[in-house]
Amino acid sequence: MPFDRDLFLPVSREDMARRGWDFFDFLLITGDAYVDHPSFGPAIIGRILEAEGYRVAVLAQPDWRSAEAFAALGRPRLGVLIGAGNIDSMVAHYTAAKKRRHDDAYSPGRKAGLRPDHAVAVYSNRVREAFGDIPIVIGGLEASLRRFAHYDYWEDKVRRSVLFDAQADILTYGMGETATLEIAARLASGTPVSEITDVRGTCVIGKYPSLCAYPRVEVPSFEEVSASKTAYAKANMVEYQEHDAVSGKAIIQKHGDRFLIVNPPAFPLTTGEMDRVAELPYVREPHPMYDDMGGVPAIEEVRFSVTHNRGCFGACSFCSLAFHQGRTVSCRSHDSVVREVRLLTEHPGFKGYIHDVGGPSATFRRPSCQKQLKSGMCRNRACLAPEPCPNLDADHTDYMLLLRKLRAIPKVKKVFIRSGIRFDHLMKDPSGEFFTDLVQHHISGQLKVAPEHCVAHTLDYMGKPHIEVYEKFREKYFKLNRRYGKDQYLVPYLISSHPGCTLEDAVRLAEWLNRQGHMPEQVQDFYPTPGTLATCMWYTGIDPRTMEPVFVPKSPHDKALQRALMQWRKPQNRKLVLEALRKTGREDLIGYGKHCLVKPDRGTPVGGGLCAAPPSKGQPRKKPRADTRTRVEKKEGSAKPIRKKGWAKPKKKK
């Protein structure tokens, strides 16, 4: 169904003329297609400014090859706001193997190449060409994660803060609503942008550290972290620890003869503020200018989904959430979420299914403990891993009651949860009632969780719980499925080649998967994205939490070996798996036994041990008995018994 383009923010001079505008206040530039939905950061920023009375126009995916496209809508009265889109532009363009992607879900018709590499810096420089000294504010995920001097995986070097490369005036980091509104108010009051230096959640450049208005700490300079990996690791840890709205200090980092000043983080939105942001008049659809281009595929995952929380105290070392949204959880009210779902039921394409009620981690609806509200997050202690903190509040009752309200709304058939669920957090729920509700009502065929690995020290580097926690969760999950007669699968997410994971560890993971009767269809190689602790480990070979050395599988061949072990049954991986097993002295896994991963080459003696030899020529194979195990146990799924072709059928009783 086509939507009236006048419901969207204007994207052309014609749109503005229909509104009777002879000027506008802010130009909002994004590297994504324009989708007016609260899952898209630019839509949120545009709508909150509109709600405050500002006139906002949107320029989506402009041609960056010249400045002319950036002047197409005219010069805004107050300033230009720039973001690369919902994900880092380099992640949007390249795989973990640095191969160019062939499509882009955030572009019309999945067309790749509609935004530049390092989009924030490129866009900002083009705006400077087009409009000269106009105030420029950069933000969004790409700017947020690149606010300090950072290692860039794609160029294999340390880059300056993106604020320097972009030639922008202010960088907003984190979710950005509060900082953006304060900057807008000051610009509207006539304050020069050069004097807006003390807004929380922003970064500016100054000639002297004294420009900083907050208690501060200084980290090694850009030149130091470029030359010394030890200095880089020390700086990264301080940057991570100070990202706390309650206890965090401002951070100073010298770049040449100037100083990057990173003010403390903005305070998380209150429940009332989150409700207001979520219920602004979004169309919740891509702009109709994309209708003839194939639409914008990214909307399909979120069109009938609801975000109810922000922040994550899970603090996985490879995840950017802790460095962007922060570790303090805030959430919306039940009434606000109910109103949004009622609104979704009136959408012409609604078929009765709410695809997700989640966020960074679906079940988080309160801070991890009361202490963090007064003193901030603990600096040298994670809430969940390797063991849950004794002060952890893991009560899931509030989330469970919210879901029950949503299930009761007319026209709603099912409410699913597709965001990540921290199974270790779920296992600490004192009542266990939510687990039962989850299995009975909220799984769309399969539940995806993220154990990531099975080796304890690798999991410690990841910031994940040890595998015994997942195994207990798995056992309980299938027990509940059997109890309620559900045919539901469990899909574990896993990462290969993470810092700290040796080839021996990868073999142990393959053994564990073999015992589980599961081989992943897809495997995620570790992807070093800017700002994370794991990326620091990958670049420096140092764990910034301990400053101890850490093994890093870096070469393409080493990574290929680890990846192949996780998919050992695939014929194309056979040679790599054999090589890995021989390198690690695990020839006992080459053979014909049930614990073996691959068969030996023809004419090669088997490793023995657990791997039995095949039957000799002419000796009949003994047919196995009917498989009495259930798919729940064998294939991470249903309670229906399965049989393979050629297996004996059970005899009927007379």
What is the DSSP track for 159-204?
EPPHHHHHT-SEEE-SS-HHHHHHHHHHHHTT--GGG----TTEEE
Q: Say what the pLDDT of residue 605 is.
A: 60
Interatomic CA distance for residues 40 and 32, integer angstroms = 9
How much of the chain is in helix, strand and coil states, percent to nearest 5? 35, 15, 50
152-164 pLDDT per residue, tens:
999 999 999 999 9
pLDDT confidence bin for 614, thresholds 50/70/90 = low
Q: Which of 394, 480, 474 is nearest to 436 (CA)?
A: 480
| 423-451: average pLDDT | 94
CA angle in degrees (0–180, nearest 5) for 425-430-431: 115
pLDDT confidence bin for 518, thresholds 50/70/90 = confident
| 180-189: average pLDDT | 98
Per the structure, how many domains does the chain have?
2
**Count helices and strands in the chain by DSSP H and E runs:** 24, 24
Domain boundary pick from 198, 217, 232: 198
Interatomic CA distance for residues 293 and 152, integer angstroms = 33
pLDDT confidence bin for 145, thresholds 50/70/90 = very high
**Taking 80 as the threshold, does the pLDDT of residue 618 lie above it?**
no
Count of C-beta atoms within a 10 Å radius of residue 238: 18
**Taking 90 as the threshold, does the pLDDT of residue 463 lie above it?**
yes
Q: Say what the pLDDT of residue 626 is.
A: 38
% of the chain with per-residue pLDDT over 90: 82
Q: In Å, how far from its chain's centre is CA 603? A: 48
pLDDT confidence bin for 604, thresholds 50/70/90 = low
Q: How far apart are the two ends of the chain, measured CA to CA in Å?
A: 61
CATH number at residue 138: 3.40.50.280
Q: Say what the pLDDT of residue 627 is.
A: 37
Instruction: Please report the sign of the dihedral spanned by the C-alpha atoms of residue 533, residue 233, residue 137, residue 70.
Output: negative
| 371-398: average pLDDT | 89
Interatomic CA distance for residues 461 and 441, integer angstroms = 35
| 64-77: average pLDDT | 96
Q: Say what the pLDDT of residue 639 is.
A: 44
pLDDT winner (highest mean) among 259-268, 317-326, 607-616, 625-634: 259-268
- Residue whose token pair is 């190689």: 525
pLDDT confidence bin for 373, thresholds 50/70/90 = confident
14-59 pLDDT per residue, tens:
999 999 999 999 999 999 999 999 999 999 999 999 999 999 999 9
Q: Say what the pLDDT of residue 602 is.
A: 73
Is 587 contained in some domain?
yes
Domain boundary pick from 198, 220, 241: 198
Mean pLDDT over all residues of the chain? 91
Rounded to 5 degrees, what are φ and ψ at 549?
-65, 150
Q: Say what the pLDDT of residue 371 is.
A: 84
Contact 26, 16 (CB under 8 A): no
Strands 170-172, 202-206: pairing is antiparallel
Is 66 contained in some domain?
yes
Q: Which of 436, 510, 425, 434 is nearest to 469 (CA)?
A: 425
Q: Say what the pLDDT of residue 563 is.
A: 95
Is 13 contained in some domain?
yes
**Taking 50 as the threshold, does the pLDDT of residue 580 lie above it?**
yes
Contact 78, 25 (CB under 8 A): yes
Is 54 contained in some domain?
yes
The beta-carbon contacts of 213-217 under 8 Å, at least 24 apart in sequence, are 213/250, 213/263, 214/249, 214/250, 214/263, 214/264, 215/249, 215/250, 216/249, 216/250, 216/251, 216/252, 216/261, 217/242, 217/249, 217/250, 217/251, 217/252
Is 234 contained in some domain?
no
Domain boundary pick from 198, 227, 249: 198
Contact 448, 418 (CB under 8 A): yes
Q: Say what the pLDDT of residue 323 is.
A: 87
Q: In Å, how far from its chain's centre is CA 546? A: 25
Contact 388, 463 (CB under 8 A): no
Q: Say what the pLDDT of residue 420 is.
A: 81
Cis before 390 (ω within 30): no
Which residues constitute the domain of residue 27? Answer: 5-198
Is 599 contained in some domain?
yes
Count of C-beta atoms within a 10 Å radius of residue 51: 13
Is 385 contained in some domain?
no
Q: Say what the pLDDT of residue 333 is.
A: 98
| 140-168: average pLDDT | 97
**Taking 60 as the threshold, does the pLDDT of residue 234 lie above it?**
yes
pTM of the model: 0.90
Contact partners, residue 484, CB within 8 Å, separation at least 6: 439, 440
Is 414 contained in some domain?
no
